[in-house]
Amino acid sequence: MTLYEQPEADKVCIEVQPSMIREYHSYYYVPTGEDQRWLAGQIEALDLDGEPSDKRWEGHKETGWQIIYNDYNDIEMRGFEGGYLYYTYYDEEKGMMEALIETPKLCDYIQIMLIEKTGFQNYDASEIKDIVSATLNVNSILTDWQLYSQTITDAETLNKLEDWFSNATYILGGADCGNQCACLELTLANGDVVKLSMATDSCSNFCIDGVAYDYRPEPNWDNGEFFNCFNEIPWISKE
């Protein structure tokens, strides 16, 4: 896939956070050809009159992508499941404004395009069941910025990971916890391979292509117990 570090001027760009080890928190996919023309027309036709901020996102879950486009750059347009587009902007007279509009045709188009063009995963954490192997790749301050990898197949440890991740709680707004520095690849018994961007600070969270979850293991609230599962990786600290 071809992703860019910055959005391209005069083009519809889709901001994504791919579940992989990456240098930056977010990247941009720039559609081309008919995809670009169609998306620009759909966005320019949107009715962007909002209402005073009132948490209209409540009860809805993000898809993990966001639209960036020209004069709309000061408007956050974020995709939500069910074909909804949520956006916010600041009005000098009215203050913070927001809206949640139903645009299934536009949202489905972007979702399918990202899956086909970039390998984007639309995967709910509750579906993480019957893990047969887990491979952690990490390149962070915890490993002195060296790339290390370890695969585990121990049933007891995999059951622990399944319990944590399948019961994780969705976090609105993503997570900025060094998730770009560690990627966990889970192979399930049904053949699915699910990639999780794991937090590398003390936070017990992960992202699946930009959709964030808090797995909060017991008895510890932080992610130390998770990283201790991969004992062959030379950590600087595993507190």
Q: How confident is the model at residue 88 (pLDDT cuts 50, 70, 90)?
A: confident
Query: pTM here?
Result: 0.89
What is the model's pLDDT at position 99?
87
Q: How far apart (Å, rounded) are the C-alpha atoms in residues 116 and 99? A: 29
- Does the pLDDT at position 76 exceed 90? no
Residue 115 CB partners (closer than 8 Å, separation 6+): 121, 122
Quick: pLDDT tens for 176-235.
898 999 999 999 999 999 999 999 998 999 999 999 999 986 666 788 899 999 999 998
**Ramachandran assignment for 173, one of left (phi > 0), alpha (psi -120 to 50 degrees), beta (any other):** left
Quick: pLDDT tens for 18-44.
999 999 999 999 999 999 999 999 999
What is the model's pLDDT at position 108?
97
Residue 194 CB partners (closer than 8 Å, separation 6+): 121, 123, 128, 185, 186, 188, 208
Quick: pLDDT tens for 128-180.
999 999 999 999 998 999 999 999 999 999 999 999 999 999 998 888 898 99
Report the chain's mean pLDDT, rounded to a whole number.
91
- DSSP letter, residue 171: E
Mean pLDDT on 52-78: 83
What is the model's pLDDT at position 1?
63
**Ramachandran assignment for 59, one of left (phi > 0), alpha (psi -120 to 50 degrees), beta (any other):** left
- DSSP letter, residue 84: E
Lowest mean pLDDT among 68-72, 123-127, 158-162, 225-229: 68-72
What is the model's pLDDT at position 73?
57
